[in-house]
Structure 1
Amino acid sequence: MKLVPDLWRQELWLPPGVTWEDMERLGPSARPRPQDLLITLPLALGFVVLRYLFERFCAPPMSRCLGVRDRLQVPAASSPKLESYYKQKSRKPSQKEIVLLMSQCGKTQRQIETWFRLRRNQDRPGQTKKFGEAAWRFFFYSAAFIAGLSCLINRPWFWDLRECWRQYPVQPMEWTHYWYYMLELGFYASLLLRISVDVKRKDFREQVIHHLATIFLLSFSYCANYIRIGTLVMLLHDSSDILLESAKMFNYGTGWRKTCDSLFIVFAAVFLVTRLVIFPSKIIHSTLVLSMEVFEPFFGYYFFNILLMVLQALHLFWAGLILRMIYKFLKGKLEKDERSDDESDIEEYDKEDEEQFEQGATCCWDRGKDSLNSKLSVLTNSCVLNNLTNHRASVADRMRKAQ
């Protein structure tokens, strides 16, 4: 029981010399309260339902307009033993496990390997599903960026970051900023709720860390009334996310390669400028240095800046991936899927297996074709020689008759 009062000690949340009584002067409607965050739970569930409706009714017509098509997959043959092993033990059995399955199912090694490859391909998400996820995020980030820009562009702290700390933390909260915060929090909570069923990517762990850090950052900044600088952080992130999701949408379509390449280049430039230049030089510099002109360091100051540093570390990680993609793009080696939708290692291996299978089939066809060509050549030569021999014999016979 003593832990809850200790959690809300003013020394943790407020600068030295400021008390909760000072915050009460703002009034209940202009003061951020921790219980306000409870509204994010129904908002997150509402976003999940809204996303389902969007992906069910809106995304499919859009995908057809962009020429998004799911790849035809050959279904794996019905095999209860292999299906049970696939779901309960391993999606990619080892050599010893394959030998064991051969004795249990009465199949050859090649048949079992082919079955597991086809079964993994069945679980691979289609282009339509990935397009629906990208389209949903694109529309939210676009709406959030437009709404955030409209409610911030005429505020003084949008142009002068020192205004973020003037009279902090006794700063009145506007209703537009309250809803901007709650909707962003609800959206990231919905992403966290759906992350287990969404398309799994290479940076799955980093995505989870990003969502958790964002939720903690927004929640803490709201309770500690870091709302002014928090709104700028959200607006900065949404600006590049719009371009990323739009590039993904065109990447999944057919015949939009040049559009996708252009959007990717613009996204890379905006991401590197906003996340590696503006964010550390303006936002983090403001929270670390400019805020010290108004108050002395306290626990909330350190905790808030640690969360910002975690975000910056993730920015550096993703910037490395983007720079590698740019290098491959300039070298002409960038694959269509790589720049905007990095799936998990399992699916990568599935693709490699599939490529090896296709290469093996091509080699078999080439060998069969060469053998067929050689046989046709022998047959043709034989026919030509027979015709030539018969022709010479008939000429000799006519010459004898003439004599």
Structure 2
Amino acid sequence: MLGWLSRLFWQEHLWFPEGLGWADLEDRDGHVYAKARDLWVALPIALLFLMIRLLFERVVATPLASLLGIKETVRRQVAHNQTLESYYCNTTKNPTQSSVEKLCKQTCWTERQVQHWFRRRRNQDRPNVLKKFCEASWRFTFYLLAFICGLGALIDKPWLYDLEEMWKGFPTLTLLPSQYWYYMLELGFYVSLLFSVASDVKRKDFKEQIVHHLATITLISFSWCVNYIRAGTLIMFLHDSADYLLESAKMFNYARWKNACNYLFILFAGVFIITRLIIFPFWIMYCTWVYPVTLYAPFFGYYFFNGLLLVLQCLHIFWAALIVRLAFRFLTSNSSVEDERSDKEETDESAEENEDMKNREIKKNGLTQNGHAVYNSSHSKTE
């Protein structure tokens, strides 16, 4: 059964244009070609990335955060209540007013106590700023190094300047060492992101991130197997050119460097729109959709590859809408850029509790009842 599925999966007419096949990618005359079995190297690289990340966050990111004044948030723990915990985990984290009233009857707590418990419980599940900073630092470091390596691997290649060069000689395109390592490192990194998705900061576009990682891994793997490597290196390089700017803006945002964060975000927004909404669809995708059919008849791999690119482009449009909305808000109100994908931290106390604390402070310091500071007792004695 497995053998039959394997033969069905690797049929040449699915992966290659008519008249071409796996035999054309056999090493000969000193020429080396990409092979599907090479992709297994990405698994140990992904595990290595996970270990390097743990070391990096502990040795580099955390001390850097300390230098920037970022400290780990210590949140007050909620009192254990089995009824509320069960409702929180199995029903919803944000109960309605009617649900709160029912929970009050079940727990014999006041409405304010139940609401207070849910606020603290939600805050406990939110990642603190230090965790966000460490994650952004790690991604910034990789994307920046990947961009530099990609530039070094492509700077002297003709298909960086003339996109039609991507297909000249296809599929017998000799594999270069720089292409091999660029592919394996990128693939290993995205596999590591998929492995760590359960422990990473979860944002509102969590599902879109999963789709992006899966589409990217599939796209990299497929382009490797059918020797679409020249197109693949261009696509990876194009994506890396904007990603490190976003992660650096996040780092400055967590450090409360408002101006640096805002300027980097505007720069990122410009690069993102140019690369993902202009160059990618109108140059890269045009060259993968239109030019190949002038060389060979369309086949399953042609449609599959371009279908994955279309999925990425849909995600680009989705994220571009968020980016433009943030940039517009910043430019019109001169406010600090905030990541709309992250949940906002809730105040740990209710309005009534804050008022009670305020009144106690007023009484303690000898302030007037309406809350306006006048003179404390020591000042009165001085007069």
TM-score bucket of the superposed structures, by smaller chain: 0.7 to 0.9
For the structure 1 residues 76 and 25, does the alpha-carbon distance in structure 2 shift closer, same or farther, using more than 3 Å as the test?
closer
Q: Distance in 1 between matches of 2:131 and 2:27?
A: 50
Deviation of 1:237 after TM superposition, in Å, equals 0.2
| Contact 2:330 2:337 survives alignment (8 Å) | no
Deviation of 1:26 after TM superposition, in Å, equals 4.3
| SS of equivalent residue, structure 1 residue 138 | helix
For the structure 1 residues 6 and 84, does the alpha-carbon distance in structure 2 shift closer, same or farther, using more than 3 Å as the test?
closer
Partner of 2:64: 62
Q: Is 1:372 the counterpart of 2:369 in the alignment?
A: yes
Partner of 2:127: 125
Q: Distance in 1 between matches of 2:23 and 2:312?
A: 33
Runs of 4+ residues deviating >6 angstroms: 368-371
Letter of the 2:295 partner, please give it: V
| Contact 1:74 1:118 survives alignment (8 Å) | yes
Letter of the 1:232 partner, please give it: L
Q: Distance in 1 between matches of 2:351 and 2:30?
A: 67
Q: Distance in 2 between matches of 1:42 and 1:196?
A: 19
| Contact 2:262 2:337 survives alignment (8 Å) | no
Tell me the C-alpha RMSD between the 2 structures.
2.8
Partner of 1:98: 100
Partner of 2:285: 284
**What does 1:19-30 align with in structure 2 at a 5 Å threshold?**
19-26=21-28, 30=32
Deviation of 1:81 after TM superposition, in Å, equals 4.6
**If the length of structure 2 is used for normalisation, what is the TM-score?**
0.88
Deviation of 1:42 after TM superposition, in Å, equals 1.5
Deviations 1:227-252 (A, max 9, x none): 00100000000010010000000000
Partner of 2:354: 361
Partner of 1:164: 166
For the structure 1 residues 79 and 245, does the alpha-carbon distance in structure 2 shift closer, same or farther, using more than 3 Å as the test?
same
Deviation of 1:52 after TM superposition, in Å, equals 1.4
| Contact 1:288 1:305 survives alignment (8 Å) | yes
Q: Distance in 2 between matches of 1:311 and 1:80?
A: 43
Deviation of 1:91 after TM superposition, in Å, equals 2.7
Partner of 2:225: 223
- Structure 2 unaligned runs (5+)? 375-383
Q: Distance in 1 between matches of 2:370 and 2:262?
A: 43
Q: Is 1:140 the counterpart of 2:142 in the alignment?
A: yes
**What does 1:145-224 align with in structure 2 at a 5 Å threshold?**
145-224=147-226
Partner of 2:112: 110
Structure whose alpha-carbon radius of gyration is higher: 1
For the structure 1 residues 28 and 76, does the alpha-carbon distance in structure 2 shift closer, same or farther, using more than 3 Å as the test?
farther
Partner of 1:233: 235
Partner of 2:330: 329
Q: Distance in 2 between matches of 1:82 and 1:359?
A: 22
For the structure 1 residues 223 and 373, does the alpha-carbon distance in structure 2 shift closer, same or farther, using more than 3 Å as the test?
closer
Aligned residues: 367
The farther-off stretch of 210-219 and 22-31 is 22-31
- Structure 1 unaligned runs (5+)? 378-403
Q: Distance in 1 between matches of 2:78 and 2:268?
A: 40
Letter of the 2:208 partner, please give it: E
Deviation of 1:97 after TM superposition, in Å, equals 4.0
For the structure 1 residues 363 and 275, does the alpha-carbon distance in structure 2 shift closer, same or farther, using more than 3 Å as the test?
farther
| Contact 2:261 2:337 survives alignment (8 Å) | no
Q: Distance in 2 between matches of 1:179 and 1:223?
A: 15
Deviations 1:172-220 (A, max 9, x none): 1112211111111111011111112111111111111111110110010
Partner of 2:265: 264
Letter of the 2:216 partner, please give it: T
Letter of the 1:179 partner, please give it: W
